[in-house]
């Protein structure tokens, strides 16, 4: 290998992209490079906890990190009533508000990113976000785009629009979603294009907020569930990573007061979805009536759960990549980490999406035979029990998952990403 290079990672301020980048950074350092992280203030400490150097990039008006975290939690909590709406209905509520906030993060990041880049002097920058940061594109070194959400972040006429939750055959749904998205997000997009012009960048077509890197684009989406595109992605610039499952400490399943000999179910709606305590409490109660035992991630709301059945254990956090291999089935929100980890370990899942790419991943799990999609609010205990029973007994699903797990585990995503980054560094040394 050539001399040690500095590889900077700049993931979105959310645990999904953050932990994916941690996995790649670990593999990058194993090849002898030095990985550093650019981070929003509210994620400070996450990467240091894994031993990485951090550099703060403010993504909003100055305020203490705990206030930023509280802002985003309030943002999510305020949108809980919208979680049960269809992806199309969410365009006017959650999606609109998200894009408005995301554009603000790009505007604020631009104020400090040039200075941070000049200070750190990375040889390559890997960004996992849904929006362009002009300073990274203009820095003068190769940059890598990491796509940790559904692969339809890179659009194609024959695949569902990002965030739509459409099946791949629903062409009418494609059209309706795109038309409504463009109409609602149009003014926000125009403001973003003004920002691009102010920073010497050409405007993007309506509906687009980012571009593919001319150097390298890494898709965490596994090939066994990828879409058939009208225009296949150029393998010289686009590579599938088969997920980026990181290493966590080993986990021992605790003893349950009831149903200790029954199948183990793991439930997680992600760090932000934990705020929907009403739905999670309903799930906890329903699981208490079924012939299973369950671990349920409830985040910082653990004290709200005072009446937990004997076959259920709730906690604020679980080392998910160490827990999922021990389970028999998973119930989750469709976030990319849990989506890919279930496939990587060959575990069937019920996906109850609430926002963003969860809708796309839930549809894709079901239409490729790797699990089931359920509405997060419109179900009965009988329907939940029947769905879990199918996950535990369906031989075709089990065979599909076994094949997918073997494929993914034979192509370790973080290692592949690190090797590609190493190759890019050498080419541009």
Q: Do 303 and 397 lie in a common domain?
A: yes
The structure tokens listed for 65 are 């990190």
Q: Do 229 and 362 lie in a common domain?
A: no
CA geometry: angle at 62 spanning 61 and 64, to 5°? 130
Give pTM, 2 decimals.
Answer: 0.92
> Does some domain include residue 84?
yes
**Burial level of 173, CB count in 10 A (0-12/13-18/19+)?**
middle
Residue 340 burial (CB count, 10 A): 25
> Does some domain include residue 61?
yes
Task: Show the DSSP H helices in 40-95 as ranges.
Answer: 65-79, 87-90
Q: Do 10 and 148 lie in a common domain?
A: yes
d(CA 361, CA 179): 22
Instruction: Give the model's pLDDT for residue 69.
Output: 66
Among 15-29, 123-137, 235-249, the range of highest mean pLDDT: 123-137
> Does some domain include residue 301?
yes
Average pLDDT, stretch 384-406? 97
Q: Do 229 and 96 lie in a common domain?
A: yes
Quick check: 220 and 243 in contact, CB under 8 A?
A: yes
- For the chain, the straight-line distance linking the first and the last C-alpha, in angstroms and rounded, comes to 12
208 strand-pairing partners: none
Q: Do 329 and 403 lie in a common domain?
A: yes
Q: Please give the tally of structural domains in the chain.
A: 2
d(CA 106, CA 96): 16
Q: Do 169 and 270 lie in a common domain?
A: no
Instruction: Give the model's pLDDT for residue 1.
Output: 44
> Does some domain include residue 287?
yes
Average pLDDT, stretch 328-343? 95
Q: Do 238 and 313 lie in a common domain?
A: no
- Give the residue numbers spanning the domain of 186: 6-242+411-427
Phi, psi of 34 (to 5 degrees): -110, 120
Sheet holding 238-240, edge to edge: 53-56, 34-39, 6-11, 124-128, 143-147, 216-219, 238-240
CATH number of the domain that residue 338 is part of = 3.40.50.2000
Quick check: 36 and 19 in contact, CB under 8 A?
A: no
For residue 293, pLDDT beyond 80: yes
Q: Which residues of 344-368 are buried (b: 16+ CB within 10 A; e: fewer)?
A: bbbbbbbbbbbbbbbbbbbbbbbeb
Pairing of strands 34-39, 6-11: parallel
312 strand-pairing partners: 294
Which stretches of 154-246 are assigned E, i.e. beta strand?
Answer: 216-219, 238-240
Q: Do 184 and 291 lie in a common domain?
A: no
pLDDT confidence tier of residue 275, bands split at 50, 70 and 90: confident
Q: Do 334 and 215 lie in a common domain?
A: no
Q: Do 313 and 214 lie in a common domain?
A: no
d(CA 349, CA 365): 8
Quick check: 410 and 423 in contact, CB under 8 A?
A: no
Find where tokens 């200790």 sit.
260
For residue 65, pLDDT beyond 70: no
> Does some domain include residue 324?
yes
Give Cα 45 to chain centroid, integer Å: 20
For residue 130, pLDDT beyond 90: yes
Q: What's the mean pLDDT when you consider all of the chain?
A: 94
d(CA 364, CA 152): 11
d(CA 270, CA 350): 14
> Does some domain include residue 252?
no
Q: Do 416 and 396 lie in a common domain?
A: no
Residue 251 burial (CB count, 10 A): 16
Q: Do 272 and 177 lie in a common domain?
A: no
Instruction: Give the model's pLDDT for residue 2.
Output: 52
> Does some domain include residue 376?
yes
d(CA 156, CA 397): 28
> Does some domain include residue 1?
no
């Amino acid at each position: 290998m050539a001399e040690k290079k500095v590889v900077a990672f700049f993931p979105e301020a959310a645990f999904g992209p953050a932990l994916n980048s941690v996995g790649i950074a670990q593999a990058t350092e194993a090849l002898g490079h030095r990985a550093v992280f650019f981070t929003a203030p509210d994620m400070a400490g996450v990467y240091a906890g894994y031993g990485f150097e951090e550099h703060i990039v403010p993504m909003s008006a100055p305020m203490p990190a705990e206030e930023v975290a509280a802002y985003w939690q309030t943002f999510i909590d305020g949108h809980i009533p919208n979680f049960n709406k269809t992806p199309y209905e969410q365009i006017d509520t959650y999606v609109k508000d998200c894009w408005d906030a995301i554009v603000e993060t790009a505007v604020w990041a631009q104020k400090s990113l040039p200075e941070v880049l000049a200070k750190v002097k990375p040889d390559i920058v890997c960004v996992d976000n849904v929006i362009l940061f002009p300073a990274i594109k203009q820095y003068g070194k190769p940059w890598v785009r990491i796509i940790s959400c559904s692969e339809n972040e890179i659009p194609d006429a024959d695949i569902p629009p990002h965030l739509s939750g459409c099946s791949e055959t629903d062409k009418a749904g494609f059209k309706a979603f795109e038309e409504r998205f463009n109409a609602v997000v149009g003014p926000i997009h125009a403001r973003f294009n003004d920002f691009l012009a102010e920073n010497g960048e050409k405007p993007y077509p309506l509906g687009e907020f980012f571009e593919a890197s001319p150097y390298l684009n890494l898709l965490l989406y596994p090939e066994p569930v990828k879409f058939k595109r009208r225009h296949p992605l150029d393998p010289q610039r686009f590579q599938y990573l088969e997920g980026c499952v990181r290493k966590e400490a080993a986990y021992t399943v605790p003893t349950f007061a009831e149903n200790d000999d029954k199948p183990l179910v793991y439930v997680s709606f992600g760090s932000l979805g934990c705020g929907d305590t009403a739905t999670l409490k309903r799930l906890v109660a329903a699981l208490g009536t079924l012939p299973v035992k369950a671990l349920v991630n409830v985040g910082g709301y653990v004290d709200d759960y005072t009446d937990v059945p004997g076959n259920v254990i709730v906690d604020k956090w679980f080392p998910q990549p160490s827990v999922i291999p021990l389970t028999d089935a998973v119930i989750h929100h469709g976030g990319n980490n849990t989506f890919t980890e279930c496939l990587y370990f060959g575990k069937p899942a019920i996906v109850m999406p609430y926002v963003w790419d969860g809708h796309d991943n839930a549809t894709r799990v079901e239409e490729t035979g790797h699990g089931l999609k359920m509405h997060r609010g419109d179900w009965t205990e009988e329907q939940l029990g029947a769905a879990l029973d199918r996950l535990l007994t369906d031989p075709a699903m089990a065979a599909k998952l076994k094949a997918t797990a073997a494929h993914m585990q034979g192509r370790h995503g973080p290692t592949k990403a690190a090797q590609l980054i190493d190759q890019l560094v050498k080419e541009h040394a």
